A and B are shown apart, each in its own frame.
Chain A
Amino acid sequence: QVQLQESGPGLVKTSEPLSLTCAVSGDSITTYYWSWIRQSPGKGLEWIGYIDYSGATNYNPSLKSRVTMSVDTSKNQFSLKLSSVTAADTAVYYCARYVGPQQADNWFDPWGRGTLVTVSS
């Protein structure tokens, strides 16, 4: 079955960039869209954005100025970079496949296990 696994530093200093990678197995990254979602401690879910195999992206407008996503089809993985982080960016970051018949009405399935990123000075 499809599995996703996030990886990256668990601690990032304030004002530095946060970089995460999601390795996909059981499906080709050339299908569907691939997304990042985060969850601040004790809080709800926030969609960050998604990317397709060609590198086309769609970002959350509230994060757009700081977000860059990329895809590596040779490694079947995609990545997130969030610049100029602050304590407010401390969260569990999930990667997920964004699947469905069209871009607007799609859903997230499956999800990776998530990785906690703490931002601290």
Chain B
Amino acid sequence: QSVLTQPPSVSGAPGQRVTISCAGSSSNIGANYDVHWYQQLPGKAPKLLIYTNTNRPSGVPDRFSGSKSGTSASLAITGLQAEDEADYYCQSYDNRLSGLRVFGGGTKLTVL
């Protein structure tokens, strides 16, 4: 059971907008720690998608955006494309147990 909770799956048609939620608690996101997002294409290593809640690394399309509020965060993908089909993970810091870097359980995005 992951410290950060994500829906196991989401889906959308090409061109649509989807969001992926990441629910935390008062010891991680709610304690004002930053949230980062990763995209894992099938058979590949995770790749940084969003850092510090809302920032995109160079080369990441602006179709991807992140937000954070209270004890949760969200990743939004607009103009869905077939190449976006992947697993997405959120990551933050948890201040229990001498500090823990925690991931969400991952969300499988299916482009219909």
**10 sample A-B contacts, Cβ–Cβ < 8 Å, listed by A number:** A35-B101, A44-B89, A44-B106, A46-B103, A61-B100, A100-B52, A105-B33, A107-B36, A107-B48, A109-B48
Q: Are A61 and B97 in contact (CB under 8 A)?
A: yes
A110 to B104, CA, bound (A): 19
Interface centre among A47, A94, A103 (most CB of B within 10 A): A47
Q: Are A107 and B89 in contact (CB under 8 A)?
A: no
Q: Are A45 and B46 in contact (CB under 8 A)?
A: yes
A side interface size, CB within 8 A: 23
Q: Are A110 and B103 in contact (CB under 8 A)?
A: no
Question: A-contacting residues of B (Cβ < 8 Å)?
Answer: 2, 33-34, 36, 38, 44-48, 51-52, 57, 89, 91, 93, 95, 97-106
Chain A residue numbers with a CB within 8 Å of B51 are 100, 107, 109
